[in-house]
Structure 1
Amino acid sequence: MSDVPGLDGLLGVEHLELTPDKVVVQYTLGEQHLQPFGIPHGGVYCAVHESTASTGGQIWLGEKGVVVGTNNSTDFIRQAKVGDTITTVATPIHRGRTQQLWRVETTGPDGKLVAQGQVRLANLDLPVPPEALARYRAMTQE
């Protein structure tokens, strides 16, 4: 586990770069990331893709609203193994008034693509919860 709240914390995700134009996270695959047959669970990559894109989208949107995922399309390219350090990078393809589209790429320790995809986000006209706003401010100032 990491100091990051929520599912990312349970997965051991560490934030390396947090900007409106790029989010980079990293985690090391462990037994907790495996499906019953002993290989990394694809849902881990999907979850990290969505949270990484959502983090970038929220940083970009700021206090203008709340970002929520509306679609997550993740392709699994090659298998990683327990002990591998995995890096996920999210960059925007499109950012508009009501929605955003982010490209997400996950690589293994050799730099080869493990998974790739896109995450579509909706920009909702809702107030950002104060605790979430404080967390994002703290994360982007580290």
Structure 2
Amino acid sequence: MTLDKAKILEQCNAICKDTLMETLRIEYIDIGEDYLTAKMPVTSRVHQPDGVLHGGAMVALAESVGSAASYVFLNTDDFYIRGIEIAANHVKSIKEGEVFAKASFLHKGRTTQLWSIRITDKEDRLISIVKLTTIAISKTK
């Protein structure tokens, strides 16, 4: 599979307009043969009351990048992509800066896909590890 990285990233970022991804300021920044990476700024907009990154914001970031990766790597002319299960383990707090979420395939099935999403800080320290299952639903049904 030959990727036009710039075009794919531009398309991923364009479809975020007026969505939760835009609200959270998620930006898709890198893509490879089997992964997609996004970043999100850590500011008070995504803090929990005690001033650290909210776990729900990390889960939203993870589901966004995993679902977008399914969208990129599957034939979405024929299918809708939906997240059907997500599990997250938050292992480190962060108060400011940016977090990076890299979604990598664990399983690429025709119907279901399983993603591992590592959320790290700019020094590549693990903040959260997330497992996401997506499903491809036929548009003809």
| Counterpart secondary structure, 1:9 | helix
Give the total of aligned pairs. Answer: 125
5+ residue gaps, structure 1, are 128-142
| Counterpart secondary structure, 1:106 | strand
Instruction: Assess if the C-alpha contact under 8 Å between 2:102 and 2:118 holds in 1.
Output: yes
Instruction: Assess if the C-alpha contact under 8 Å between 1:66 and 1:123 holds in 2.
Output: yes
Match of 2:99 among 63, 86, 92: 86
Match of 2:85 among 59, 65, 71: 71
The structure with the largest helix share of the pair is 1
Q: Partners in 2 of 1:104 and 1:122 — Cα distance?
A: 16
| 1:111 corresponding residue in structure 2 | 124
Show the 5 A alignment for 1:13-28: 13-18=26-31, 21-28=34-41
Instruction: Output one character per residue of 1:108-127: Cα deviation in whole Å (capped at 9) or x when no partner.
Output: 12210000111001110116
Indicate the RMSD between aligned Cα atoms, in angstroms: 1.6
Q: What is the TM-score with the length of structure 1 in the denominator?
A: 0.82
Instruction: Output one character per residue of 1:9-45: Cα deviation in whole Å (capped at 9) or x when no partner.
Output: 1111111124562111112201100112222110011
Instruction: Output one character per residue of 1:76-118: Cα deviation in whole Å (capped at 9) or x when no partner.
Output: 0100112x12111001110112100000000012210000111
Q: Partners in 2 of 1:51 and 1:19 — Cα distance?
A: 17
| Counterpart secondary structure, 1:50 | helix
Instruction: Assess if the C-alpha contact under 8 Å between 1:24 and 1:87 holds in 2.
Output: yes
Q: Partners in 1 of 2:55 and 2:130 — Cα distance?
A: 12
Q: Go from structure 1 to structure 2 and tell me whether the alpha carbon gap of 1:66 and 1:20 turns closer, same or farther (over 3 Å shift).
A: farther
Q: Partners in 1 of 2:112 and 2:50 — Cα distance?
A: 37
Q: What is the TM-score with the length of structure 2 in the denominator?
A: 0.82
Percent identity between the aligned chains?
Answer: 22
